[in-house]
Amino acid sequence: MAVSEHLRADGPAGAPATADTPTHCPYCALQCGMTVGGGPVRVAPREDVPANRGGLCQKGWTAAELLTVPDRLTTPLMRAHLGAPLEPCGWDEALDRIAAEIGRLQARHGRDVIGVFGGGGLTNEKAYQLGKFARIALRTSQIDYNGRFCMSSAAAALNRAFGLDRGLPGPITDVARADAVMLVGGNVAETMPPFMRHVTEMRERGGALIVVDPRRTATARQADLHLQTTPGTDLALANGMLYLAVEEGLLDETFIAERTGGFEAVRRSVNTYWPDRVERITGVPVPQLREAVRLLGRGVRSLILTARGAEQHARGTDTVTAFINLALALGLPGREGGGYGCLTGQGNGQGGREHGQKADQLPGYRRIDDPAARAHVAAVWGVDPQIIPGPGRSAYELLDALGTDDGPRALLLFGSNPVVSAPRADRIEERLNALDLLVVSDFVLSETARRADVVLPTMQWAEESGTLTNLEGRVLRRRRAVPAPAGVRSDLEILAALAGRLGAPGTWSTEPAEVFDELRAASAGGPADYSGITYQRIEKEGGVFWPCPAEDHPGTPRPFLDRFHTPDGRARFIPVEHGRGAAEGIDEDYPVYLTTGRVLAHYQSGAQTRRIGPLVEASPEPFAEMHPDLADRLGVTDGMDVRVTSRRGTVVVRARLVESIRHDTVFIPFHWAGEGRANLLTNPALDPTSRMPEFKVCAVRVEPHEPNGADQ
């Protein structure tokens, strides 16, 4: 499929050329450059941002429509009591209610009775301030964020192998210069279309694209080699490829000896992954396995990139580790333009996890249980380190504990919609309904906000300033381009107002630049050191790569070229085993694999994109993609409603028959609410290290659906 099918460089008809405020797209982690302005407001792509170089996807082109959606919230909403409807109220009334309820609950049940749930789309400033608010205004350990559902497995694997979690190993322009790129579990042609410009340039230079995916996606159709795996078997694939790399003499023995440790244990562990066995496990023919290894091993600059398809598993950390082992054995991280990387998904997925939203983390990617880290951050905050709580629950565990005897009785939620996006979504809906207090900050009444006791109308992307860190590790400026509607406040203003009512220590600025300066100080000396990054430098240089420990430091676009961020500077090989694969295998009762993902027109829970007319027109409803042979066995025809059932729930969606998916697998996108909510089905089995739920594979049965209830 041509890039032009997923990437428009001309924009919508009639878009004026008067846009004049440079900023970045509100959606994915590419953070494509755009300008915003005109009347009515329009967007236009920027040529000076390497990520998109003058292109935008359909979501980017229609981003201005988010600012004027008909159901935009412009006043706080509140319920007078349980069961009462949400009704407009004043800001003081809403904030006073929240503060009073927090005080009442904490006096009765302790500090951890209040939970906080953040989002990977929040700016660095808001993510930082939210973590600070939880730790010293609420003094609760119960904070995590939806980025736990995004890149946490890759982050955990990077930390234990390289000592540092950075999404890409270098600038995105390295993709265009690569000799081979293997993309594991990512469909960038639909999820971040401008990325494909770099892939296309790489292929035009003679480089090869390898795609690992159970579906022949829009990305896989452009690949030179598509490895169509059985869901949940990527770890076995990586170990089998390393076996072949050893067999074919493709190892970089010098790199292994000089810059890594632990290889012999990994060499022994992959001895049982001989080609025929790996073919039986994964479904990938041996000749394709050999071709993939040769393409990667013979290239001077090769990249292995994983995405959610490899990571959203109960063994996601080990799966990513297996691909890191392969990259290290081939010597890829020792070459400029090569290495292992992860495609961060959410707009600020990289920065959002660096500055305190995670349950076990303080700003600068410091561990919250490290006494030195606690002392440093406490000094910046002007508090005693003893008042900073320890680690709390991870995202799903936090949501699952809401309203229980030992869990939070109240939740403050910013930038997330877990009623749609969390696994086993009906369980999460029940837990939210069991709370004494649910507060949601959002710009629309999302599916989660509809269940809130208090809803606070917040500013949108083009109405506020701040910074975001894209998938390269490049810190970028988001600039205020249009005024917010009257009655709307920023999340920084909301947090400052609540902190004041709660008598929180320290300063609580509402100015993003001032909050960023505090973030810089808090991150200084940490793994994610932003202390040398200023708004002025970002403006001048078009973004600055972290770590950047001083204002005269150039930033670090390629953090692993000379040494890794481990105590001895060496990367760690770690043996990992495929085991039984997915946490939930298919059986007689649930004989089909389900995998989930995104489509071109929509983003995450769809709270934004399902409100944009052209995007709804392009993709109006959820569907179950399945192979015609599977449909024939089930008595299903194209366009028929089908009932898809897992051990956790049932959805009803329309069947879409395609030959691009495995015969034993169905695919349902997760952007919709209601009876087509894919996450009613997904398995919350958690990775023991990253605490990532197993979104990407579970067992289901599929049956024709009769609307009158006469299902057979």
pLDDT digit string, tens, across residues 397-452? 999 999 999 999 999 999 999 999 999 999 999 999 999 999 999 999 999 999 99
Q: pLDDT at position 8, please?
A: 33
pLDDT grade, residue 38 (50/70/90)? confident
Q: pLDDT at position 412, please?
A: 98
Mean predicted confidence (pLDDT) in 501-528: 97
Q: pLDDT at position 17, please?
A: 32
Cis before 40? omega within 30:
yes
pLDDT digit string, tens, across residues 73-92? 999 999 998 889 999 999 99
pLDDT of 605 over the 80 cut: yes
pLDDT digit string, tens, across residues 122-132? 999 999 999 99
Per-residue b/e over 567-586, b at no fewer than 16 CB within 10 Å? eeebbbbbbbebeebbbbeb
Q: pLDDT at position 94, please?
A: 98
When computed from its CA atoms, the radius of gyration of the chain, rounded to whole angstroms, is 24
Calpha distance 326→474 (Å, rounded): 26
pLDDT digit string, tens, across residues 164-186? 999 999 999 999 999 999 999 99
pLDDT grade, residue 3 (50/70/90)? very low
Report pTM: 0.94
Q: pLDDT at position 162, please?
A: 97
Query: CB–CB of 252/329 below 8 Å?
Result: yes
- Residue 676 is classified by DSSP as G
Instruction: Locate the DSSP E strands across 166-224.
Output: 180-184, 208-212
- What is the DSSP annotation of 585-629? ---SSS-EEEEEE--TT--TTSTTGGG-HHHHHHS-S-EEEE-HH
Q: pLDDT at position 340, please?
A: 97
Calpha distance 173→201 (Å, rounded): 10
CA distances to 66, 237, 239, 579 from 270, in Å: 50, 11, 6, 13
Residue 254: Cβ-neighbour burial (10 angstroms; 0-12, 13-18, 19+): exposed
Query: CB–CB of 591/646 below 8 Å?
Result: no
Q: Give the CA-trace dihedral at 35, 39, 40, 45, to 10 degrees.
A: -20
Which helix (H) or strand (E) segment holds residue 289: the answer is helix 286-298
pLDDT digit string, tens, across residues 555-603? 999 999 999 999 999 999 999 999 888 999 999 999 999 999 999 999 9
pLDDT of 1 over the 70 cut: no
Q: pLDDT at position 709, please?
A: 54
Mean pLDDT over each residue of the chain, to the nearest integer: 94
pLDDT digit string, tens, across residues 221-244? 999 999 999 999 999 999 999 999
Mean predicted confidence (pLDDT) in 148-157: 92
Domains and CATH numbers, the chain: 3-68 (2.20.25), 77-149+348-545 (3.40.50.740), 156-342 (3.40.228.10), 592-704 (2.40.40.20)
pLDDT of 703 over the 50 cut: yes
Q: How far apart are the first and last CA of the chain?
A: 39
pLDDT of 5 over the 60 cut: no
pLDDT of 2 over the 80 cut: no
Calpha distance 330→293 (Å, rounded): 9
pLDDT digit string, tens, across residues 322-354? 999 999 999 999 899 999 999 988 888 888 889
Q: pLDDT at position 712, please?
A: 42
Q: pLDDT at position 39, please?
A: 80
3-class DSSP state of 222? helix
pLDDT digit string, tens, across residues 9-32? 333 333 333 448 999 999 999 999
pLDDT of 208 over the 80 cut: yes
